[in-house]
Amino acid sequence: MRILITTVQVPFIRGGAEIHAEGLRNALCEFGHEAEILAIPFKWYPPERILDHMLACQLLDISEVAGTRVDLVIGLKFPSYLIPHPNKVLWILHQHRTAYELWDHPLSDLVYYPNGTEVRDVIRQADRKLIPRAKAIFANSRNVAERLKKFCGIDSTPLYHPPPNAERYYCSTVEDFLFFPSRLCIPKRQELVIEALAQTQNSVRVLFAGVSDQPSYANKLMSLARKFKVHDRVEWLGPISADEMRHRYANSIGVIYPPTDEDYGYVTLEAMLSSKPVVTCNDSGGPLEFVLDHKTGLITEPTPDALAAAFDLLWENRAEAKAWGEMGRVRYESFNLSWEHVVNKLLA
Amino acid sequence: MGARGKQVTGMKINWFSPLPPATTGIANYTQGILPALTTQADVTLWTDRTGWDPTLEKYAWIRHYDPDRMDWVELNRADLSFYNLGNNHLFHAAIWQVSRRAAGIVVLHDFRLHDFFECLYRVQWRDADAYLAQMERQYGEEGLRAATEFVNARKGDYDLMAQRFPLTPLALENSLGTVVHTREAFEELKTAKRFAVVYAPLPAATLVSQRSLSVNRASNPYGLIIFGHIGRNRRLDAVLKALSELPNRDRFRLDIYGKIDDEKTLRQRVQTLRLEDIVTAHGYAPAAKLEQALSAASLAINLRYPTMGEASASQLEIWSHALPTLVTKVGWYASLSEETVAHVRPEHEVEDIRHYLESFLADPDRFARMGERGLSLLQQQHDPDAYVATILSLVSNARQLRLRKAAYDMARRAGVLMRAWAPNSDDASRSVAEKIHAMTAEPGSL
């Protein structure tokens, strides 16, 4: 089959969504299909730009290319999933979140604009009307599926997939650090972790890996670490290779991953693959579908003191941390995550 | 009566209006409907003034705002915003500024807003060029030419400009809908496609049922009353002239309450016409004193010419005292039944006023019945509860109204872009707009 994967791309920014699209394309090709990623540039401010992008997507014709039919379109992200096609399947990574669960939320931007309500209503209306036109609707996680049901009344099937190169994760000798790999940005809550470090009983060390969308934010985090006098207990690794990433996972006591209402989150799965316990929060969304409290990790309130207690618990109880990590690996295996399963579902 | 934040409907609205003690009828209007409004909705009153009548806080949250530093988050938390607009730029400038950025419902208290925009641009912002630009944008070359002549004239004809170039579309261009208080305004606006138009008769500020009507009218002499802001359109000169021509004018006393724009000229006219014993100008009167005066009067004179198309809160106040009234046969007043008011033709003012005063003396009971029918009409058509129900029906449609507006805005943007390559830019723009309108005509379609 000739398959187009539609997504959006914010130029110069790369994260889980890009990896997801590439993983899907590679899997489709591996299973004998001709697949390409069609990425639409996306800008979300001022809010009327969002509507422009929505209309632009709806105006596109990707039913055929140079006289040859496109057999299937798989839509991943808003508003690219609005591109019409007679044979379209959606595998929704997330909707435009500030029009939904993040509308009146500290992470929102839309609500700060005078025309925010207007744009929010149009996004919701378009989703309600146009998403059901797909012949099948899958969601990236149960969390995303629940949001779709809650806000739009649309049923969808959660469809998990493995992180890239899942088979290459391993566990090794534990060193004295907790590991927090993620883009440096407000939703991932590195700030909260720095505040928590200031409240630990032990000299807990944290290695942060990842780059910031905005250089100023990385500087802000470093200043915050100095302000809380924990700068000598944190290390900013910046962008690291996939090999080094796996190495850090393998040598950590445990992995920190407390984002705000994450859609899915590769970090959780990568930690489990590395047999490491995961510290997350009870409002972190996607990770809660995988982490079992006091069995494969710790689920805390999203507060510095609660996170500090969790860090201390892992730091002081290495044997328990190891056991929880191993149980995490077993739990990962129980999900049978595979691209083959994903491809079969999407093409069924 | 709605207490602040206790509504069970879950409806939340923003209400932008002058608030008491601001000396405008629109402040009184807001105060008058607030009890009914707050039984149905959680209301936040927004004001750009630092002071307000503290009794308002029993009913609503009050937020101070600066139009240049708006708290859009708070505004976006409500289901819908209502913007009360009238001709006084001192009270409505900030409201209009917010309304043109955050779409909502514009409550039109005047149907012709030329005075508002002209004063706003030229007097308040000292920007005559912007006024000219708006006139050109709204009315093309003809508007620009008339505005230029108006600006250059030593004494421009405000009334003529308001009639020919009302500039009301400028107040509505970012609106989701408008509430009008007159049939005339409704008829003119109802064909609008971009926004909803709702006609709701102006509500009585005071619930008539809550007032004990003490009829204590003097009959020797009979009391005539004029009240409110006495500007050039209140036809005081015609009233004085008619009175002076009346042979038995001693059987009347005329009491004038409210601020008079040109008090000196009035005094001179009264002297010239030898009406010193008949006419008394009291100046501003507090509400209680005015109530008393209305209770004691036998006939109200409530002339307006020209009119800015407004419905008259003062007329409702008059009716609430079951008073007969002389009104000008223009605008909203012309639509009133002869059963409830006596119409004065603008071109025969003195003649008609004199005629009615003579008729009154001949048969005062006929006029008393007119007042009673006015009271009855007030109770039937100007009930605050019915008014509130009508305007709040817009809240349940707010989402559809926003979708419609977004589609029109998109059409406009697309039209602008198409100018670069379409053979005839106007046709291209209109074509896109019409197509999108067709899509949005069916409720809920996109």
What percent of chain A has a predicted confidence (pLDDT) above 70? 100
How large is the average pLDDT for residues B102-113? 96
The Cα B442–Cα B220 span in angstroms is 64
The Cα A298–Cα B336 span in angstroms is 75
| A290 has a pLDDT exceeding 90 | yes
Give the pLDDT score at A232: 96
How large is the average pLDDT for residues B416-443? 65
User: Hey, are the CB atoms on B75 and A114 less than 8 Å from each other?
Assistant: yes
Choosing among B16, B65, B76, B410, which should be mutated to test the A contact, i.e. which has the most A CBs within 10 A? Answer: B76
Burial degree of A185 (CB within 10 A; 0-12, 13-18, 19+):
buried
**A214-247 residue pLDDT tens:** 889 999 999 999 999 999 999 999 999 999 999 9
**Residues B234, B353 contacting (CB under 8 angstroms):** no
Q: Of A55, A112, A125, which has the smallest distance from its Cβ to B403's Cβ?
A: A125
* CA atoms lying within 13 Å on the CB side of residue B349: 21
**pLDDT confidence tier of residue B208, bands split at 50, 70 and 90:** very low
**pLDDT confidence tier of residue B7, bands split at 50, 70 and 90:** low
The helix (H) or strand (E) run that includes residue B171 is helix B168-172
**Residues B380, B364 contacting (CB under 8 angstroms):** no
3-class DSSP assignment, residue B309: coil
**B319-378 residue pLDDT tens:** 999 999 999 999 889 989 999 999 999 999 999 999 999 999 999 999 999 999 999 999
Is beta strand B252-257 parallel, antiparallel or unpaired with respect to B222-227? parallel
What percent of chain A has a predicted confidence (pLDDT) above 90? 95
Give the pLDDT score at B209: 44
The Cα A336–Cα A328 span in angstroms is 13
The helix (H) or strand (E) run that includes residue B254 is strand B252-257
User: Hey, are the CB atoms on A113 and B72 less than 8 Å from each other?
Assistant: yes
How large is the average pLDDT for residues A110-132? 97
How large is the average pLDDT for residues B26-54? 95
What's the whole-number average pLDDT of chain A?
A: 96
Nearest C-alpha neighbor of A278 from the set A263, A256, A302, A300: A256
How large is the average pLDDT for residues B268-275? 96
The Cα B11–Cα B43 span in angstroms is 9
User: Hey, are the CB atoms on A122 and B76 less than 8 Å from each other?
Assistant: no
How large is the average pLDDT for residues A176-197? 96
Nearest C-alpha neighbor of A167 from the set A346, A333, A345: A333
Give the pLDDT score at B415: 82
The separation between CA B426 and the C-alpha centre of its own chain, rounded to angstroms, equals 35
Give the pLDDT score at B24: 86
How large is the average pLDDT for residues B45-70? 96
3-class DSSP assignment, residue B176: coil
Choosing among A117, A119, A131, which should be mutated to test the B contact, i.e. which has the most B CBs within 10 A? Answer: A117
| B9 has a pLDDT exceeding 80 | no
How large is the average pLDDT for residues B229-257? 94
Nearest C-alpha neighbor of A292 from the set A303, A278, A275, A305: A278
Number of other residues whose CB lies within 10 A of the CB of residue B273: 17
| A85 has a pLDDT exceeding 90 | yes
Residue B281 phi, psi (nearest 5): -100, 115
User: Hey, are the CB atoms on B406 and A52 less than 8 Å from each other?
Assistant: no
| B44 has a pLDDT exceeding 70 | yes
The 3-class SS string of chain A reads: CEEEEEEEECCCCCCHHHHHHHHHHHHHHHCCCEEEEEEEECCCCCCHHHHHHHHHHHHCCCCEECCEECCEEEEEECCHHHCCCCCEEEEEEECCHHHCCCCCCCCCCHHHCCCHHHHHHHHHHHHHHHHHHCCEEEECCHHHHHHHHHHHCCCCEECCCCCCCHHHCCCCCCCCCEEEECCECHHHCHHHHHHHHCCCCCCCCEEEECCECCHHHHHHHHHHHHHCCCHHHEEEEECCCHHHHHHHHHHCCEEECCCCCECCCHHHHHHHHCCCCEEEECCCEHHHHCCCECCCEEEECCCHHHHHHHHHHHHHCHHHHHHHHHHHHHHHHHCCCCHHHHHHHHCC
| B446 has a pLDDT exceeding 80 | no
| B444 has a pLDDT exceeding 50 | no
pTM over 0.90: no
| B308 has a pLDDT exceeding 80 | no
Number of other residues whose CB lies within 10 A of the CB of residue A206: 23
How large is the average pLDDT for residues A260-281? 96
Chain A residues whose beta carbon lies within 8 Å of the beta carbon of residue B73: 104, 111-112
| B443 has a pLDDT exceeding 50 | no
Task: Identify which has the larger pLDDT, B1 or B301.
Answer: B301
**Residues A302, A187 contacting (CB under 8 angstroms):** no
Whether the complex's predicted ipTM surpasses the cut of 0.85: no
Beta bridge partners of A323: none
User: Hey, are the CB atoms on A118 and B405 less than 8 Å from each other?
Assistant: yes
Give the pLDDT score at B445: 34
Chain B residues whose beta carbon lies within 8 Å of the beta carbon of residue A53: none
Residue A172 phi, psi (nearest 5): -140, -170
The 3-class SS string of B2-37 reads: CCCCCCCCCCEEEEECCCCCCCCHHHHHHHHHHHHH
**A195-218 residue pLDDT tens:** 999 999 999 999 999 999 788 999
Chain A residues whose beta carbon lies within 8 Å of the beta carbon of residue B399: 121, 125
Residue A279 phi, psi (nearest 5): -100, 120
The Cα B156–Cα B133 span in angstroms is 18
The Cα A11–Cα A16 span in angstroms is 14
**pLDDT confidence tier of residue B442, bands split at 50, 70 and 90:** very low
Query: What is the token pair recorded at B287?
Result: 């509400």
User: Hey, are the CB atoms on B402 and A116 less than 8 Å from each other?
Assistant: no
Nearest C-alpha neighbor of B46 from the set B14, B7, B89: B14
Beta bridge partners of A89: A74, A136
**pLDDT confidence tier of residue A29, bands split at 50, 70 and 90:** very high
Among chain A, residues having any CB pair with chain B shorter than 8 Å are 48, 51-52, 55, 104, 111-119, 121-122, 125-126, 129-130
